[in-house]
A and B are shown apart, each in its own frame.
Chain A
Amino acid sequence: MQKIHDTAEAALDGLLRDDMLIAAGGFGLCGIPELLLDAIRKSGVRDLTFASNNAGVDDFGIGILLASKQVKKMMSSYVGENAEFMRQFLDGELEVEFNPQGTLAERMRAGGAGIPGFYTKTGVGTQIAEGKEHKEFEGPDGSTETYILERGIFADLAIVKAWKADDTGNLVFRKTARNFNVPAAMCGKVCVAEVEEIVPRGSLDPDTIHLPGVYVHRLVQGDHEKRIEQRTTRKKEAA
Chain B
Amino acid sequence: MPWTREQMAERAAAELADGWYVNLGIGIPTLVANYIGDKDITLQSENGMLGMGPFPYEGEEDPDLINAGKQTITELSRTAYFDSATSFGMIRGGKIACAILGAMEVAENGDLANWMIPGKLVKGMGGAMDLVAGVKRVVVVMDHQNKAGESKLLKECTLPLTGAGVVDRIITNLGVLDVVEGGLRIVETAPEVSEDALRAATEATIV
Contact = CB atoms under 8 A, between A and B. Distances in A.
| A, B bound | yes
Interface string A211-237: 000000000000000111111111110
Contact of B84 (A101, A122, A128): A101
A23 to B, nearest CB: 12
Contacts of B27: none
Contacts of B7: none
A179 interface: yes
B21 interface: no
A29 interface: yes
B60 to A, nearest CB: 8
B49 interface: yes
Contact of B125 (A31, A100, A229): A100
Interface stretch (A12-20, A35-43, A63-71, A105-113): A105-113
Nearest to A104: B84
A49 interface: no
Interface residues of B, number: 57
Interface in B118-144: 119, 122-130, 133-134
Contact of B92 (A81, A90, A120, A230): A120
Interface in A82-121: 86, 89-90, 96, 98, 100-103, 105-106, 108-109, 120-121
Contact of B66 (A79, A163, A173, A176): A176
B72 A176 contact: no
A120 B176 CA distance: 31
Given A98-B124, A230-B69, A176 B56 contact: no
A123 B129 contact: yes
B2 to A, nearest CB: 28
B160 to A, nearest CB: 5
Contacts of A98: 124-125
Contacts of B122: 79, 86, 89-90, 96
Give the interface size class of chain A. Answer: 35 or more
B102 to A, nearest CB: 14
B71 interface: yes
Contact of A122 (B47, B75, B92, B94): B92
A168 interface: no
Of listed A89, A105, A177, residue having the most chain B CB within 10 A: A105
A149 interface: no
B61 interface: yes
Contacts of A101: 46, 84, 88, 125-127, 129-130
B161 interface: yes
A122 B130 contact: yes
A76 B91 CA distance: 19
A89 to B, nearest CB: 6
B55 A233 contact: yes
A27 B163 CA distance: 23
A31 B82 CA distance: 13
Contact of A31 (B60, B64, B165): B64
Give 10 closest A-B pairs by Cβ, nearest first.
Answer: A102-B88, A125-B164, A80-B123, A102-B130, A182-B83, A100-B129, A105-B84, A109-B85, A226-B63, A101-B127
